[in-house]
C-alpha cells in the first residue's frame, strides 16, 4: 500500500451510477500516478468503507477496471495497478463500417440495441470535450456481415450537434453517410486505439463466441475540420473474424506526419 489515501467524491444525488463514480475516483489516482504501476489497491472491505458503498458496487467497479486493463488481480496477493499500454501511432484512412464492408463486397446490417439521449459520463465527456453530464446520444449496435455478428459498438455524439439523430433508423444505413448527406457534416480526421481484450458474458452472447474469446477493442474519436470532436465510439470486433488493414506513410522526421494531417484538415 502507498502513503496516499483516497479522497472520495461520491455524490448520491447524481444521476451517474455509484460504480461509475468509484471507477472515476480510482482512475484519477492511477492517471495522476498517485497509484503508480504495481501499486496494490485497498481490499474490497476497505474500499466499501472508504466509498461508503456496497461490496456489489465495488466489485462491479473493479471488474470494469480489470476489463479495461487498468488493474490486474493476483490470486492470494490482491489487486494491483497494471502497467500502462504501449501506444503506437498509425496513419489510417478514416471510413465507416458500412463503407468499408460495402467496398469489399459484403452485405452489412445492424441491430440497434439502444438509441437514446443520456448524460455524458466523465470518460465520454473527456473524449468529446464537453461538460460531464451534458446530453449525448448513445447508440448501441450489433453489426452483422452476411447475417453473422461481427462487431458490438457503442457510439456517443454530442446531442446539440445532431439532435435529429435520436429518431433516425440506423439499422440499414451508415451513420457517416447520414451525417454527410443530410447535415453536410464531414469527419476530417480521427484517432483510433487498438488492443486485445477477452469477451465477457454479455459480449460473448451477442457476438456468438465463447466467454474469454479474444476480441479486438477499437476506441475511436472523430473530429470535424475545426477540431471539434464529433463522435467517440467503443467497438468490440470478433478476433476470429476480423483483420485490420492500415496504410502507413514513411516520413523523414516524426513531426512531418502531424504537419501533413494539419494540411489535410485545413485544405
More confident residue, 253 or 150: 150
Average model confidence (pLDDT) across the chain? 82
Which residue, chain included where needed, has cell 448524460? 119
Q: Please indicate, yes or no, if residue 88 is contained in any of the structural domains.
A: no
pLDDT, tens digit, 9 for 90 and up, residues 169-185: 888 778 888 888 888 88
Q: How many residues does the chain have?
A: 267
Of the residues 39, 57, 81, the one at which a domain ends: 81
Q: Tell me if 24 is assigned to some domain.
A: yes
In-domain check, residue 2:
no
Q: d(Cα 258, Cα 185) in Å, to the nearest integer?
A: 23
Does residue 260 sit in the same domain as residue 128?
yes
More confident residue, 247 or 143: 143
The answer to whether residues 73 and 108 belong to one domain is no
Whether 133 and 251 map to the same domain: the answer is yes
Lowest-confidence region among 37-51, 80-94, 234-248: 80-94
At 58, which CATH number? Answer: 1.10.10.10
Residue 156: what are its φ and ψ, rounded to 5°? Answer: -125, 135
Half-sphere exposure of 165 (CA within 13 A, CB side): 32
Q: Which of 35, 50, 81 is the last residue of a domain?
A: 81
Answer whether residue 92 is part of any domain: no
Is there a single domain that holds both residue 53 and residue 112? no
SS3 215: strand
pLDDT higher than threshold 80 for residue 129: yes
60 and 104 share one domain: no
Residue 8 maps to a domain: no
For residue 209, count other CB atoms closer than 10 A to its CB.
18
More confident residue, 8 or 111: 111
Residues 35 and 108 in one domain: no
Q: How many domains does the chain have?
A: 2
230 and 255 both lie in a single domain: yes
Q: Alpha carbon 110 to chain centroid distance?
A: 19
Residue 3 scores a pLDDT above 50: no
pLDDT value of residue 46: 92
pLDDT at residue 267 in the model: 39
pLDDT higher at 233 or 32: 233
For residue 40, pLDDT over 90 is answered with: yes
- The more confidently predicted of residues 61 and 84 is 61
CA–CA separation, 178 and 224 (whole Å): 15
Examine the domain organization and report whether 101 and 77 are in the same domain. no
Question: Residue 28: in which H helix or E strand, if any?
Answer: helix 18-31
In a domain, residue 206? The reply is: yes
Smallest CA-to-CA distance from 24 within 35, 8, 48, 2 is with: 8
Q: Closest Cα to residue 134, out of 150, 114, 156?
A: 156
Same domain, 101 and 175: yes
Residue 10 inside a domain? The answer is: no
Cell match 482512475: residue? 27
Query: How much of the chain, in percent, has pLDDT values that exceed 90?
Result: 42
Question: Which of 37, 57, 81 is the last residue before a domain boundary?
Answer: 81
The arithmetic mean of pLDDT across residues 68-73, rounded, is 84
Is 209 a domain residue? yes
- Asked whether residue 95 carries a pLDDT value surpassing 80, the answer given is no
Q: How far apart are CA 24 and CA 17, in angstroms?
A: 11
Whether the Cβ atoms of residue 168 and residue 178 lie closer than 8 Å to each other: yes
Q: Which three cell numbers stand for residue 258?
A: 502531424
- State the Cα–Cα distance between residues 116 and 233, nearest whole angstrom: 15
Question: Which residue in 230, 155, 149 sits closest to 188, CA to CA?
Answer: 230
In this prediction, residues 196-211 reach a mean pLDDT of: 93
pLDDT value at 256 more than 80:
no
pLDDT computed for residue 257 by the predictor? 52
Q: Are 227 and 169 in contact (CB under 8 A)?
A: no
Among 156, 171, 170, 141, smallest CA distance to 237 is for 141
Residue 202's CATH number: 3.40.1410.10
Q: Are residues 102 and 71 in the same domain?
A: no
The whole domain housing 259 covers: 97-266
Lowest mean pLDDT among 142-151, 170-179, 225-234: 170-179
Higher pLDDT, 158 or 101: 158
Please state, for a pLDDT cut of 70, what percent of the chain lies above it: 79
Instruction: For residues 107 and 65, state if they share a domain.
Output: no
Task: Clarify whether residues 156 and 108 are in a common domain.
Answer: yes
Strands 214-223 and 135-145, how do they pair? Answer: unpaired
Amino acid at each position: 500500500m502507498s502513503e496516499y489515501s483516497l479522497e472520495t467524491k461520491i455524490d448520491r444525488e447524481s444521476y451517474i451510477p455509484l460504480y461509475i463514480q468509484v471507477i472515476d475516483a480510482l482512475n484519477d489516482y492511477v492517471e495522476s500516478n498517485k497509484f503508480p504501476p504495481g501499486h496494490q489497491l485497498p481490499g474490497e472491505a476497505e474500499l466499501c468503507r472508504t466509498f461508503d458503498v456496497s461490496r456489489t458496487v465495488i466489485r462491479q467497479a473493479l471488474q470494469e477496471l480489470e476489463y479495461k486493463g487498468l488493474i490486474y488481480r493476483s490470486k492470494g496477493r490482491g489487486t494491483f495497478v497494471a502497467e500502462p499500454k504501449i501506444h503506437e501511432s498509425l496513419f489510417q484512412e478514416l471510413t465507416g463500417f458500412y463503407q468499408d464492408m460495402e467496398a469489399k463486397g459484403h452485405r452489412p446490417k445492424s441491430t440497434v440495441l439502444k438509441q437514446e439521449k443520456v448524460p455524458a459520463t466523465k470518460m465520454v465527456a473527456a473524449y468529446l470535450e464537453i461538460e460531464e453530464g451534458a446530453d449525448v446520444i448513445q447508440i448501441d449496435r450489433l453489426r452483422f456481415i452476411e447475417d453473422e455478428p461481427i462487431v458490438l459498438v457503442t457510439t456517443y455524439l454530442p446531442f446539440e450537434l445532431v439532435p435529429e439523430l435520436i429518431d433516425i433508423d440506423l439499422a440499414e444505413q451508415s451513420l457517416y453517410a447520414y451525417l454527410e448527406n443530410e447535415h453536410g457534416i464531414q469527419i476530417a480526421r480521427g484517432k483510433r486505439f487498438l488492443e486485445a481484450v477477452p469477451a465477457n458474458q454479455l459480449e460473448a452472447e451477442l457476438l456468438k463466441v465463447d466467454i474469454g474469446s479474444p476480441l479486438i477493442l477499437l476506441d475511436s474519436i472523430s473530429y470535424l475540420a475545426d477540431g471539434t470532436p464529433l463522435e467517440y465510439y467503443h467497438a468490440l470486433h470478433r478476433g476470429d473474424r476480423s483483420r485490420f488493414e492500415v496504410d502507413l506513410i514513411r516520413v523523414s522526421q516524426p513531426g512531418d506526419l502531424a504537419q501533413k494531417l494539419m494540411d489535410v484538415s485545413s485544405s
